[in-house]
Amino acid sequence: MENHIGKKYAHLTVISQFRGGKNGDKNFAIARCDCGREKEVWAWALRCGRAKTCGSVDCQYYRNQFKNFKTPYKECIGQKYGWLTIIDVYHKDTTKYFLCRCECGKEKEVLPFQVIGGAVQTCGSQVCINKKIGYKIVNNDFTGQKFGRLTVLSQYRDTPNKITIFVCDCDCGKKQVHKDASNVITGNAKSCGCLLKETKSDIAQQYTPVVQSLIENSNVFTVLRQMGCCSDGRKIGVVYVRVRRKGNKRNEFRFKWVAQLRFQGKLMFYCSCGSYEEAVKRRIELERQVSVPFLMRNKEFLPKDIDMEYWQNRNKDVEFDVEKYEIKQEEAARKISERDRQAKNKKQ
């Protein structure tokens, strides 16, 4: 990860940087604008010039980007911004749009402030983006610079494919690695391939204990966690549910306490009880018959220092208000039934 702390891009100065994204594979930075505000920015947007200010409406540097908006839009026809040439101006749903033609020949519909402010400079296709980066590469010398694990030794132009190639050395020791320059600069290529192998091995090691704990089509840790009580003191697996009355034509319901146990991905046991205390006793019996023998058979897959008594008695001392829970469940069931009736009436 390249260090950008202290560097300034337009009106933004990088304070700190970190890895983020869904897979943790993107570089982000916290930058301070010249107006004093701080903003979390994608590092690629800083390097390419997409992010220049904090973007706040109160920021004077952000407002200065749009001073040219006072120019009548019809006078902009024929002018060129970036790679886009404005062909026409028209209204669409009370909003003005520019019809622009890119240098690659494609036409695109863009908002005026995006074109004049410089936020949109191409048609958006990957071909144009790489071509735009390629022109910057041809005009600049990147020899000696480092991108990720790659250090640029030399560069040359691949004329048939119209791209620039970097000859790099990787930190793992591999030399004379040929990479597309646009991929190296944008961060798509960070190493010779060693970084991908390391991340794959780290992910495999991270999920190894989870895979090993899947025995007899069940997870050891899940079975162990389901033997205690919830944070409100209610026994896990004991539920107050709504049941339809038998023999009645109308949609009449009653409520009852149920003790259930899920094992091997299925609902193995489902026992109705008259009260909460009976349901708890039935649930404990089911755990003794199914869960405890399963854990004792596969005790070797659990950590050595794990305390099974703690999980069995977890939150057991918390007082559970049975009446309050029953009222809450009944009110929720009534709301659902009313919603269903309203939906049927609308259909009719």
310-320 confidence digits (pLDDT tens) = 777 776 777 77
Q: Report the pLDDT value the prediction gives residue 207, as an integer from 0 to 100.
A: 43
Q: Report the pLDDT value the prediction gives residue 134, as an integer from 0 to 100.
A: 53
Q: What are phi and psi of 102, to 5 degrees?
A: -80, 165
Count of CB atoms situated within 10 Å of the CB of 133: 18
* CB neighbour list of residue 90: distance below 8 Å, 6 or more residues apart: 96, 97, 99
H-type alpha helices, the chain: 43-48, 60-64, 112-117, 126-139, 181-186, 194-212, 220-225, 276-286, 292-297, 308-312, 322-347
Q: Report the pLDDT value the prediction gives residue 159, as an integer from 0 to 100.
A: 65
User: What b/e string do you get for 290-307 counting C-beta neighbours within 10 Å, with b at 16 or more?
Assistant: bbeebbeeeeeeeeeeee
pLDDT along the chain (348 residues), means of 10: 80 84 75 87 83 77 60 75 85 79 85 80 70 57 85 80 81 84 80 80 50 62 78 82 64 78 78 84 84 80 71 73 82 80 74
Q: Report the pLDDT value the prediction gives residue 211, as an integer from 0 to 100.
A: 45
Residue 322 contacts residue 328 (beta carbons within 8 Å): no
Q: Name the residue ranges covered by the structural domains of the chain.
A: 1-65, 127-194, 214-347
Instruction: Give the three-class secondary structure for 135.
Output: helix
Instruction: Kindly report, residue by residue over 184-211, the tens digit of the pLDDT.
Output: 877 788 888 888 777 766 644 544 444 4
Q: DSSP label at 119? A: S
Count of CB atoms situated within 10 Å of the CB of 185: 23
Q: Distances in Å between the alpha carbon of 12 and those of 5, 26, 34, 113, 185?
A: 11, 19, 7, 21, 20
Q: Distances in Å between the alpha carbon of 116 and those of 11, 101, 104?
A: 19, 14, 20
Q: Distances in Å between the alpha carbon of 114 and those of 50, 66, 89?
A: 11, 9, 14
